[in-house]
Amino acid sequence: MAKQAANPSIERELRTPRAAAIAGILFAALYSTSWILIRLSTPQEANMVGESLPQQPGGLSLAMSLVPFSGIAFLWFMGVVRDRMGQQEDQFFSTLFFGSGFLYLSMSFASAAVLGGTLALLAADSSLLQGGASYALGVAISSRLNSVYATRMAGALMVALGTIWVRTRVMPRWLALATYVVAAVLLTSIGFTVWVVLLFPAWVAAISAAVLVLNYREVSEGEEPDIPSEGQ
């Protein structure tokens, strides 16, 4: 008769955080790729629309298709962060964490939807955006949603999460302090450069890698070998 796992609940508990942490790294890769493609493929001035867009339809199409998958991966990342808290989860700061996380995701989706809709209208009939004013408005709204509102929600998420980590010590203290520093940059440097939005996915990738390392370390230190007793 085949031997069953010694403790299925432990196996399930260890597998879920690993998968979610990998999803956090996947979010960073997908979001960064889509944002860079959108930034490089979308003309920022209305008089460049006719020259630039027809040359790079593939890049924009790929970028738009990556956005929802990056959002799904981000939800998995939020799941592993909560799993890491365990029984030490603080309801007040967890509410701030989830609220800012969902708002960040909503703003990112809205930004992509506004820009995608504007470009779809332009591709269907360029006369719908005659003069470039409507196109410029769509690009401005999309950029504002992403670089101002979504970025500030990301900073708020990091402040809440850093506070949770300082109080519960479920993550290294230096990582919580580094989270505060990056959050301060996101909250105060808006308008300085558009590339600052990439700090958040880079932070998510770093946290995900740290969770993977901590999980493997805990397994190697706490898991006992399964040695059958005599007579089995």
How confident is the model over 111-139, as pLDDT tens digits?
A: 999 988 887 777 776 666 655 677 778 88
Which pLDDT tens digit goes with each residue over 157-167? 999 999 988 88
Q: What is the model's pLDDT at position 121?
A: 76
Global confidence as pTM: 0.79
Q: CB-based contacts of 41: which residues, under 8 Å, 6+ apart? A: 52, 53, 56, 59, 60, 63
Residue 71 lies inside a defined structural domain of this protein: yes
Residue 227 forms part of a structural domain:
no
Considering only residues 77 and 10, tell me which one the structure prediction assigns the higher pLDDT: 77
- For residue 176, the SS3 value is helix
Rounded average pLDDT over 23-45: 85
* Residue-level pLDDT at 127: 66
Give the pLDDT band of residue 69 (cuts 50, 70, 90). Answer: very high
| Better pLDDT: 11 or 195 | 195
Is residue 30 over pLDDT 70?
Answer: yes
Q: Helix, strand, or coil here: 16?
A: helix
* CB-based contact 204:77 (threshold 8 Å): yes
* Residue 44 pLDDT exceeds 70: no
Residue 85 lies inside a defined structural domain of this protein: yes
Domain that holds residue 205: 15-217
Q: 37 versus 100: which is more confidently predicted?
A: 100
The rounded percent of the chain whose pLDDT value lies above 90 is 30
Instruction: Among 68-77, 89-98, 174-183, name the one with the lowest average pLDDT.
Output: 89-98
Q: Which residue, 109, 117, 118, is CA-closest to 67?
A: 109
pLDDT the model gives residue 54: 46
Residue 7 within any structural domain of the chain: no
Assigned domain for 8 exists: no
Is 232 part of any domain? Answer: no
57, pLDDT greater than 50: yes
Q: How far is CA 109 from CA 32, 34, 66, in A?
A: 14, 12, 11
In a domain, 1, yes or no: no
Q: Is residue 223 included in any domain, yes or no?
A: no
**What integer pLDDT is reported at residue 200 of this predicted model?**
94
Say how many domains are in the chain.
1
